[in-house]
């Protein structure tokens, strides 16, 4: 085996091992094939490093008291709620209107909506104008990298998923909730029900899902908080990667705000795929037998290309 081939095999083994480690972490899991094609698989090697050097325990829910800097958000929850509900009443908490929000594209189909406050480098101009008190609160906490108001209507749900990036943790603060056990999140199968003025911290790279089985809309403050790491070098690396990802995934509330390159590419791909999928669906309906034959053929082509890359 040549050095080049050995290097390729080693890279492939490390990548597959990382995906399996992420997949087997925790009790709740995505189907194996879905995990390997899920967007979280792309970050699996990086996430394995985050888990290795994590300064917090490897468990679904984390002790919120270990993040005392977030107390100011909980202590001012009514001020935050008032600004959020004003935005809700005015229709500013909404879905992405141009398919340019890669991180949450699938959520919008369930009625989930959001209004961004801050995204990794700085607050959004619209947020500074429309909810200045909340922006000031989240901006004063350096390890809060991203923040938004998130809405989920009654009778809706979010399917099981895992977030792709382990460089951060997730913080939720209840603002206007049903205050019911029927409006809840499951993280690795463990349940938490939102309550007004109460907060929770969890690791969003565990498989999690949401059910709002009430008739009331749930509104929360939703934050990405930097994961504490035990190694200074890894902390610097994580901050650099986070900053790059933040710029690449920059979102917008209003049309005149900047959109990051990944979100622009997602919008183009989504619009193209929507048109292409319509053509495929029509072809499938007209040629069901040919469609069943083509699926395994395409799988063989992909495996052949992978084999050529490794051994060709």
pLDDT, average across residues 281-289: 74
Strands 199-202 and 168-176: antiparallel
Dihedrals φ, ψ of 295, to 5°?
Answer: -60, -55
**What is the band of 36 on the pLDDT scale with cuts at 50, 70, 90?**
confident
Q: Does CATH number 2.60.120.330 belong to domain 61-257? A: yes
Give strand ranges (E) for the chain.
Answer: 61-62, 113-119, 122-123, 144-152, 156-161, 168-176, 183-187, 190-193, 199-202, 208-212, 218-226
CA distances from 110 to 81, 103, 177 (A): 23, 14, 17
> How far, in Å, CA of 11 to CA of 4, rounded?
11
Report the pLDDT value the prediction gives residue 300, as an integer from 0 to 100: 67
- Note the pLDDT tens digit of each residue in 90-137: 999 999 888 888 888 889 999 999 999 999 878 999 999 999 999 999
Diameter of the chain measured on Cα atoms: 65
> Which residue in this structure is represented by tokens 């994961």?
227
- Note the pLDDT tens digit of each residue in 16-26: 899 999 999 99
Report the pLDDT value the prediction gives residue 248, as an integer from 0 to 100: 92
Percent of the chain with pLDDT over 70: 89
> How far, in Å, CA of 165 to CA of 122, rounded?
20
Sign of CA dihedral 94, 77, 204, 245: positive
Q: What is the pTM of this model?
A: 0.87
- pLDDT exceeds cutoff 90 at 266: no
Would you give the end-to-end CA distance of the chain in angstroms? 12
Candidates 23, 18, 20, 16; CA nearest to 46 is 18
CA distances from 166 to 23, 49, 206, 235, 242 (A): 13, 9, 10, 12, 10
């Amino acid at each position: 085996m040549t050095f080049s081939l050995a290097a390729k095999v080693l890279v492939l083994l490390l990548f597959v091992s990382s995906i399996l480690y992420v997949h087997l972490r925790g009790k709740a899991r995505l189907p194996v094939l879905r995990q390997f094609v899920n967007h979280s698989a792309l970050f699996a090697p990086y996430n394995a490093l985050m888990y290795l050097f994590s300064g917090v325990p490897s468990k679904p829910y984390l002790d919120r008291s270990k993040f005392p800097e977030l107390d100011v958000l909980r202590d001012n929850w009514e001020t935050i709620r008032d600004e959020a509900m004003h935005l809700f009443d005015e229709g500013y908490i909404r879905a992405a209107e141009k398919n340019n929000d890669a991180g949450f594209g699938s959520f919008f189909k369930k009625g989930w909506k959001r209004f961004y406050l801050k995204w990794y480098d700085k607050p959004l101009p619209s947020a500074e104008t429309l909810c200045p008190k909340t922006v000031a609160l989240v901006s004063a906490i350096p390890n809060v990298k991203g923040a938004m108001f998130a809405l989920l209507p009654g009778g809706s749900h979010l399917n099981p998923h895992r977030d792709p990036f382990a460089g951060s943790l997730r913080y939720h603060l209840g603002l206007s909730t049903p205050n019911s056990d029927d409006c809840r999140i499951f993280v690795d199968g463990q349940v938490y029900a939102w309550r007004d003025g109460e907060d929770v911290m969890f690791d969003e790279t565990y498989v999690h899902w949401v059910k709002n089985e009430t008739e009331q809309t749930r509104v929360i403050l939703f934050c990405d908080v930097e994961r504490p790491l035990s190694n200074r070098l890894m902390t610097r690396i994580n901050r650099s990667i986070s900053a790059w990802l933040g710029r690449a995934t920059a979102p917008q509330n209003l049309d005149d705000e900047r959109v990051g390159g990944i979100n622009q590419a997602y919008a183009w791909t989504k619009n193209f795929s929507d048109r292409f999928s319509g053509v495929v669906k029509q072809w499938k309906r007209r040629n069901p037998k040919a469609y069943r034959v083509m699926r395994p053929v395409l799988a063989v082509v992909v495996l052949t290309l992978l084999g050529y890359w490794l051994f060709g």
